[in-house]
Structure 1
Amino acid sequence: MRAVPRKLPLAIAFALVLPLSACGLFESKPSQDDIARNFLAAFAKGDTAAAAQLADDTNGAKAMLDKVKAALKPKAVTLTAAASQPPSGDTATVPFNADWNLGDDRSWKYQGSLAMTKASGDWKVHWQPEDIHPKLSAQQSIELKVQQPDPAPVLDRDGAPLLAPTPVIGISVDRKQAGDLGSVANALAAALGQFDNTITAQSIIDGATKTPDGQVYSVINLRDSDYQKVRAQIHELPGVSFVTSTQLLAQNKALGPQFLTAIKTAVNAQVAGAAGWHVVTLDAAGNEVNDLAGKDPQAAQSLTTTIGTNYQAAAQAALAGVPQASAIVAMQPSTGEILAVAQNAPADAQGLIALTGQFPPGSTFKIVTGISALEAGKVTLDGPQACPGTTTIDGRVIPNENKFDLGTVPLRTAFAQSCNTTFSQIAATQLTSEQLADTAKQLGIGADFTVPGVTTVTGSVPVPTSTVERAEDGFGQGKDQVSPFGMAVVASTVVKGSIPTPSLIRGTQTKVNTPAQQPVPGPVLDSIRQMMRAVVTDGTAKAIKDIPDVAGKTGTAQFGDGTNSHGWFVGYRGDLAFAVLLVGAGTSSPAVVVAGNFLRAVH
């Protein structure tokens, strides 16, 4: 017999069903705090669409959020909601803390608040610009302004500017807006070619054509004074734009352009200063309304170099009429301070050869050979030395210039007259291969310096591997390689008695990367100084004997197949040491003349 189920009382049945129905009927919705947190989180991670969906004006919110994001380009944003007060009816306010990382150590922090509204039972952000920042109002925008300070000047040793902040006009062309690009290019080339002969109509067309759409092709930057000369010719050209900025430029364009450009490149970061920045609000016309945050730019301190404008100008002037690539380096032996680094235009085309070029030293290397033999006790200042027109060493015939023959003469005379035969025999028969190389190091050839502001190379003297190589090294025609800077260091060492540490920027430390060398003994230095003085009074540099107290050594250095020669003159006067190189001059005589013009100008 089947059991008949009992009917439960209605009240009990309702009680059993009620808990299941209550979960659906009374489920809680996100609070104003929840919506505020979600809005801030979405905006912070750059999801403006998701953030705008939580506002009561989705389109208006997204448009403004996108504009702010594009204007500030933040690296990171942290937006943290704080505890809100209980709602007042259908409105509430949720405070938040903002931290914007705008890059380059720019941090913008502030406290804001979101206006919240409840409609149809759901909380939304009541959209208004003040939701982003309390001082951002309707019809306004926000902007990050970065302000670069003018670069600090670079001064000479006496405080006069070598490089100074200078107004510059950048001239660019937009091929899309130019219309007839060929016509515009012709007009620009005609006006600007006088400042840079590489600017042609074709170079402008090529450059503009390769420039991506939406970008402009930079043609040239002109000093304001130069721009004014051509303004009337180019200012109204279609598609041509002009942007004014301030750049660090040489005050005298002829005062060593290659060298000063190298200094500028090396110190740009030091003289740039710290950029300022401000987050501002702008009205509809672009006028600044509120400065919300930031700091002003900070100019850097000026840098003082060891360069003397008088020395630099005199060196440049001395090279001005020389047709070959030529260079002068001048130093102060007592301090190692670089006084001048000058080159003419043909040298500039090859780079900064004054400081890093490598050339055979020719007979200037007899300074090294002479010191090496004197230090070894193999020769004396006035001891007799043979100076035949030619000499043969292991089958290698070594001639004097034009095969002049002096017979037997004192060492100082052989040095003054630049007897190749004498010094090749001394190197081959009186010295070891290591002695020559070691003496070169004692005088600074091969020394490696890290000089703040410039790159330098003194040279190299490999240890000769044969008697012939040693003989050739003895008069600077072996594998020896030096720069004008390196020979200025040699001359400075002869004056000072030890290798000076070169410097260019005051207040910086030059790093010496090679081991310290034993100084040349005083008596040896006295002898070589007398020998170098005799070069000017009675020898190959007699052309400048009218200038008091000059001592030096000429050098004619063959290169290539031996039919061409560089011209050298290396020397000192008081606390001024110098090296002059004329590339491919054929003889040392023009170098002596250049050195004389330089010395007369500075004394």
Structure 2
Amino acid sequence: MVGVVAMLVATAGGAGWWWSSHRGDGTAVQEARSFAEAVAADLAAGRTSTGLKGAPTSAEMGRILDGMGEIPHTVTISGIALDEDARRGTVTLEHSWRVHKDKKPWVYRSTAPLRRDDESWASSWSPTILAPGLEQGEGLQARRLDAERGEILGDGDTALVTDRQVVRIGVDRSQTTSTAQARRTARAVAKLVDVEAATFVKAVEGAGPQAFVEAIVLRSGSPELADARRGITGLPGARAVNDEIPLAPSSSFARSILGSVGPATAEQVASSKGAIRAGDVVGTTGLQQTQDARLRGTPGYVVEAVDLDTKTTRELHSVPAVDGKPVRTTLDQTHQEAAESTLAQVEPASAIVAIRPSDGHVLAAASGPGSKGVSTPTLGQYAPGSTFKVVTSLALLRTGIDPQTPVPCTKTTTVDGRSFKNYDDYPAGGTGDITFSTAIANSCNTALIAERERLNDNSLSEAAEALGLTLPPALGVPGELGDVPTPKTGVDLAAQTIGQGQILSTPTGMATVAASVTRGSAVSPVLVLDGSARPSARPGRPLSGDEAQQLRALMRGVVTSGSAAFLGDVPGEPVAAKTGTAEYGTDEPPRTHAWMIGTQGDLAVAVFVEDGPGGASTAGPLLEEYLRKVQQ
């Protein structure tokens, strides 16, 4: 009977050997160790091993390991056991494949029988020496398991950005007979789908003989796709390949906010330290980019035994992918689409922002086509004009003015040598001593400027903070609200009372003012519910219930008896509003921004057009159209 009485063991690094036996030949042990090290080195290098009888040739080993590509493979000796007479034994090898840099490696042990022939050691090849369970005629291959990209959700966790069907139009080199034919087809496809021909032709020429080179990705069902399908018919190698990628409901839907995805650039791959590989889909702009790590998830891998003839596979080991997590936003599809369709024909930069005052959720943040990809709702800072009079009204209410207080509305007024006037279409019968509520309803500039002496240097900034305009934004996306600097001169203060001078606001900022009036406390608008949004801040002097009630009455008066009377028949709950026109630039007469803010029930809206003759005439109809659409 053979008994194992001697064992040689190494640590993973190959050091720390120990030897225990009742008797044995120390030279035989050292020779067995040298033999095992040579076998391990050959296996790790993927070459044939002269110490293994019947081992595959180097070419055959290449086929066996072809599916493992450049994956690092290390083999160390875990232990050697020799029998009593040191003529036979077993070597245990520990293998480690670093399949994915950020994943636990595939580690396992295999064994090889040892026999001593004359004065040397030998063994016989078996596929199980390379990997347990591997059979004759099989090789190894590793495949990446892609993670599902997380969805971007909207209000009520409705999926906004989710996998949607697309078709990739391009050239399949395997279906062309020559480079010249592929070149001709590429040129025709580029013209058909309107991509830069020279670049696409070069990509097709440089691709491998089995490659599919994509020219464009089109949404399923789009008119462009129907035209492309017809156009590629009869073009050798031109193909339309069905696929799914994460997309919003339409190509324009909140694009400047949500962003887009695409193949990773070389820079993104290099900077990711192995987390991103060439061909991966990553966020390239907007929320898709800022929340990419959360949305992308982490890939896994599977190692398979593959029949070298039939190519059938079976799993040997796997590490599952971890799917990306969703990012929840507050956008409401109905409100966003209504806002975008309302702005569809507006040529200058424009925006509509809708906030639900009860929770501060941004339901819509739409940019018009004139914004040219910029997020005008969150990043466009402009003088807010007379919409800022809501803030000025709060500052004046705090000095003791009430809605019935008489104020002087003159045609013009002069402050430190600078003349101010009312807007061109100001009603002639609205001048003279009028109530404060009438001054707000008709938007009398001179009346508010006349009352500026009631204010101190901090009055407007405190009122703006109470209405959320100057609190730190907690949107969860890049964005600003407003800026109300301390006036340096009397002229500065006069200009600021009517939303001019150095006062700035984004459309989101003015929607926040309207929302705060409705809720009766400062609203901190939020657009992203997951991620790293900052906690909302509190104003130093909060809005009181009585102040909010008076502001709501002043804004309602703009609709019942003022410049926004056209909103009086909008269906649903009563509408309150404030118009705004802000001069800018050096033209004579000055060009103007057009603004309108409005509230209806638990909804606050700001409408902005960068270049328009007046708030009521330009932004007003857009607000009305939007409110009517969301009521349908």
- TM-score higher than 0.5: yes
Q: How does 1:53-68 map to 2 (within 5 A)?
A: 60-61=57-58, 64=61, 68=65
Kept after mapping to 1: 8 A contact 2:77/2:94: yes
The reply to whether residue 473 of structure 1 matches residue 501 of structure 2 is no
Worse-superposed segment, 302-311 or 139-148: 302-311
Choose which of 390, 394, 413 in structure 2 pairs with 1:367: 390
The reply to whether residue 322 of structure 1 matches residue 318 of structure 2 is no
Structure-2 change in CA distance of 1:300 and 1:181 (3 Å): closer
Worse-superposed segment, 118-127 or 162-171: 118-127
CA distance in 2, matches of 1:75, 1:460: 56
Name the counterpart of 1:407: 432
CA distance in 2, matches of 1:70, 1:120: 39
Structure-2 change in CA distance of 1:247 and 1:369 (3 Å): same
SS, match of residue 61 in structure 2 = helix
Kept after mapping to 2: 8 A contact 1:381/1:411: yes
Kept after mapping to 2: 8 A contact 1:55/1:61: no
Choose which of 567, 583, 600 in structure 2 pairs with 1:544: 567
Choose which of 92, 95, 98 in structure 1 pairs with 2:95: 98
Q: CA deviation at 1:592?
A: 0.8
Kept after mapping to 2: 8 A contact 1:35/1:125: no
Letter in structure 2 aligned against 1:540: S
Extract unaligned runs of 5+ from structure 1: 1-25, 194-198
SS, match of residue 71 in structure 1 = coil
Name the counterpart of 1:6: none
Extract unaligned runs of 5+ from structure 2: 1-25, 260-285
CA distance in 2, matches of 1:165, 1:591: 36
Kept after mapping to 2: 8 A contact 1:426/1:474: no
Choose which of 301, 308, 312 in structure 2 pairs with 1:277: 301
Name the counterpart of 2:442: 417
Q: How does 1:481-560 map to 2 (within 5 A)?
A: 481-506=504-529, 510-512=533-535, 516-547=539-570, 548-560=573-585
Structure-2 change in CA distance of 1:514 and 1:206 (3 Å): farther
CA distance in 2, matches of 1:91, 1:72: 35
Kept after mapping to 2: 8 A contact 1:493/1:500: yes
* TM-score, normalised by the number of residues in structure 2: 0.79
Name the counterpart of 2:367: 343
Choose which of 582, 596, 600 in structure 1 pairs with 2:609: 582
Structure-2 change in CA distance of 1:345 and 1:266 (3 Å): same
Name the counterpart of 1:397: 419
Kept after mapping to 1: 8 A contact 2:182/2:236: no
The reply to whether residue 142 of structure 1 matches residue 140 of structure 2 is yes
The reply to whether residue 219 of structure 1 matches residue 215 of structure 2 is yes
What are the Cα deviations for residues 515-561 of structure 1, in whole angstroms up to 9, with x where unaligned? 64321222222222111111111111112121251111111112221
CA distance in 2, matches of 1:181, 1:395: 74
Of structures 1 and 2, the larger Rg is shown by 1
CA distance in 2, matches of 1:28, 1:602: 88
Structure-2 change in CA distance of 1:203 and 1:95 (3 Å): closer
SS, match of residue 424 in structure 1 = helix
Name the counterpart of 1:601: 629
Name the counterpart of 2:37: 37
* TM-score, normalised by the number of residues in structure 1: 0.83
Structure-2 change in CA distance of 1:435 and 1:181 (3 Å): farther
Kept after mapping to 2: 8 A contact 1:178/1:240: no
Letter in structure 1 aligned against 2:370: P
CA distance in 1, matches of 2:609, 2:67: 58
Kept after mapping to 2: 8 A contact 1:375/1:521: no
Identity among equivalent pairs (%): 27
Letter in structure 2 aligned against 1:573: Q
What are the Cα deviations for residues 35-63 of structure 1, in whole angstroms up to 9, with x where unaligned? 2134325755xx556x8466567872576
Kept after mapping to 1: 8 A contact 2:256/2:373: no
Q: CA deviation at 1:284?
A: 1.9
Name the counterpart of 1:257: 255
Name the counterpart of 1:572: 599
Kept after mapping to 1: 8 A contact 2:377/2:508: yes
Structure-2 change in CA distance of 1:541 and 1:297 (3 Å): same
Name the counterpart of 1:20: none
SS, match of residue 160 in structure 2 = strand
Letter in structure 2 aligned against 1:495: T
Q: CA deviation at 1:154?
A: 3.4
CA distance in 1, matches of 2:627, 2:600: 8
Name the counterpart of 1:83: 80
Structure-2 change in CA distance of 1:333 and 1:43 (3 Å): same
SS, match of residue 192 in structure 2 = helix
CA distance in 1, matches of 2:374, 2:290: 15
Worse-superposed segment, 566-575 or 317-326: 317-326
Kept after mapping to 2: 8 A contact 1:332/1:576: yes
CA distance in 1, matches of 2:315, 2:380: 54
Letter in structure 1 aligned against 2:457: S
Kept after mapping to 2: 8 A contact 1:83/1:94: yes
Letter in structure 2 aligned against 1:591: A
Q: CA deviation at 1:225?
A: 4.0
CA distance in 1, matches of 2:73, 2:611: 61
Structure-2 change in CA distance of 1:29 and 1:328 (3 Å): same
CA distance in 2, matches of 1:90, 1:173: 63
SS, match of residue 57 in structure 2 = helix
Letter in structure 1 aligned against 2:368: N
The reply to whether residue 114 of structure 1 matches residue 112 of structure 2 is yes
CA distance in 2, matches of 1:585, 1:284: 71
Q: CA deviation at 1:333?
A: 0.6
The reply to whether residue 376 of structure 1 matches residue 399 of structure 2 is yes
Letter in structure 2 aligned against 1:519: P
Q: CA deviation at 1:28?
A: 6.4
CA distance in 2, matches of 1:243, 1:132: 39
Worse-superposed segment, 60-69 or 110-119: 60-69
Worse-superposed segment, 52-61 or 577-586: 52-61
The reply to whether residue 289 of structure 1 matches residue 313 of structure 2 is yes
Letter in structure 2 aligned against 1:346: G
Kept after mapping to 1: 8 A contact 2:78/2:94: yes
CA distance in 2, matches of 1:358, 1:83: 74
CA distance in 2, matches of 1:283, 1:324: 63
Kept after mapping to 2: 8 A contact 1:387/1:407: yes
Kept after mapping to 2: 8 A contact 1:150/1:246: no
SS, match of residue 433 in structure 1 = coil
Worse-superposed segment, 300-309 or 527-536: 300-309
Kept after mapping to 1: 8 A contact 2:67/2:141: no
CA distance in 1, matches of 2:140, 2:390: 70
Q: CA deviation at 1:33?
A: 3.1
CA distance in 2, matches of 1:320, 1:549: 27
Kept after mapping to 1: 8 A contact 2:46/2:65: no
Structure-2 change in CA distance of 1:214 and 1:120 (3 Å): farther
CA distance in 2, matches of 1:529, 1:585: 27
Letter in structure 1 aligned against 2:190: A
- Alignment RMSD, CA only? 3.5
Choose which of 196, 200, 210 in structure 2 pairs with 1:204: 200
